[in-house]
Amino acid sequence: MADVPSTALLEPSAPEASDPAVKPPLDPDIIRWPDEPPPPPEMWQITPVHDWERDERGYIFESRLEEAEVHKTEGNAHFKASEWELALRRYKRAIYHCVFDEMQMYDLLDHHKEQAHGIQVPCKLNLVACIVRMYEDGNPALPDGSLDHALLAIDEVLKARPKEAKAFFRRAQVLMLQQDLAGARTALDEAKRLSASGGTAAGGGGGGANLRDAYAKLKALEQKEKERQRVLFGGKLQTVSVHQMQEESEALALARRAALWKYVRIIGFPVVLPLEALYAVVQYIVRKLLRGPEGMGKKAR
């Protein structure tokens, strides 16, 4: 890999909008269906409210990291004060300044990549924590699609640091909010395994009391889901057929017809018996005629 100066300009691969709430223009060379929705907003995009959410990012690597570090520090202060919305906005702004596309990351040296990840990873994990708290509190300021952005942030963290125990812990929190309890348990188990084996950030939210609390919460959700399934599908088995009245009516009608025919035979015995005998003789003659002369000839011989 060619040596890239630390102060090299990072040329953007596509035009950037100065306002993070404004979506970048669509590429006219990409064919889209007329009713195809626009691409989803980026993780860092949010409607600006404060002046510091309107500053533009530069092209110099160190300058972008410095701006990101400032927003990260402010976000941490809001996070400690439980000011989740402000913390979320700060972390989004920090990610906006230090995010690089794949081509830019490819051109960076390893220690430059680690510097970028050193800001991106904690900001993304804390961004997920803010989303979880705001979602649990029912905060109306939480943007739509935030849970999807949270999972995307976790995937990006694990792509950079596959053994980040805290990322699996955060994933479990989000999946519990989405009622994916099986996926949440898998993520918690992985966070526990990495914490026990000394994975990255083993103690920061992915182990100890936080992990025990998450398991307890997951167990309560699983119990609640089992109870819901029991009420919905369990119940008592039906002891009678749903069509019992119809079946009983048909059986009663059949019994009445059989009894009526029996009484007719008894009362009309002098008439019915000769008729039945005549009917049997007629059947015998018809069968013989259908067999032809050979059948009658055999009996005659």
Overall domain count for the chain:
1
- Which stretch of 3-17, 55-69, 95-109, 230-244 has the lowest confidence by average pLDDT? 3-17
Six-digit token string for 232: 């919905």
What integer is the mean pLDDT of 248-271? 80
**pLDDT above 70: residue 297:** no
Residue 280 maps to a domain: yes
In a domain, 273, yes or no: yes
**pLDDT value at position 48?**
87
Question: Does residue 259 sit within a domain?
Answer: yes
Rounded CA gap, 214 and 177, in Å?
12
Domain containing 258 equals 244-300
Which token pair is 225? 């889901």
Q: How far apart are CA 39 and CA 25, in angstroms?
A: 10
Span 200-221, pLDDT tens digits: 544 445 558 889 999 999 999 9
* Paired residues of 268 in beta bridges: none
The confidence score (pLDDT) of residue 228 equals 87
Does 12 score more than 60 pLDDT?
Answer: no
pLDDT value, residue 38? 67
Length of the chain counted residue by residue: 301
58 inside domain: no
The average pLDDT across 183-207 equals 76
**pLDDT band with cut points at 50, 70 and 90 for residue 294:** low
Query: How far is Cα 67 from Cα 52, in angstroms, rounded to an integer?
Result: 11
- Measure Cα distances from 106 to 1, 76, 112, 113, 186 in Å: 9, 29, 10, 9, 32
- Does any domain span residue 159? no
Q: How far apart are CA 300 and CA 222, in angstroms?
A: 87
Vertex 135 angle, CA 221 and 207, to 5° = 60
User: What pairs with residue 200 in β-bridges?
Assistant: 164
Q: Does 251 fall in a domain?
A: yes
The answer to whether residue 287 is domain-embedded is yes
Confidence grade of residue 259 (pLDDT, cut at 50, 70, 90): confident
Q: What is the DSSP letter of 83?
A: -
Q: What angle, 0 to 180 degrees and rounded to 10, lies between the N-to-C axes of helices 110-137 and 146-160?
A: 150
Q: Quick one: pLDDT at residue 6? A: 52
Tens-digit pLDDT profile for residues 104-120 = 888 888 899 999 999 99
Both tokens assigned to 147: 């849970």
Q: pTM score > 0.75 for this model? A: no
**Could you give the C-alpha distances from 98 to 58, 86, 95, 188, in angstroms and in order?**
10, 19, 5, 29
Q: How far are the Cα atoms of 18, 40, 43, 64, 271 from residue 21, in angstroms, in the given order?
A: 9, 12, 11, 19, 100
Residue 196 pLDDT grade (very low, low, confident, very high; cuts 50, 70, 90): confident
Q: Is residue 232 part of a domain?
A: no
Cα–Cα nearest to 62, from 124, 147, 140, 119? 119
Reduce the DSSP state of residue 26 to 3 states and report it: coil
In this structure, what token pair is assigned to residue 243? 């069509």
Residue 186 in this model has a pLDDT that exceeds 90: yes
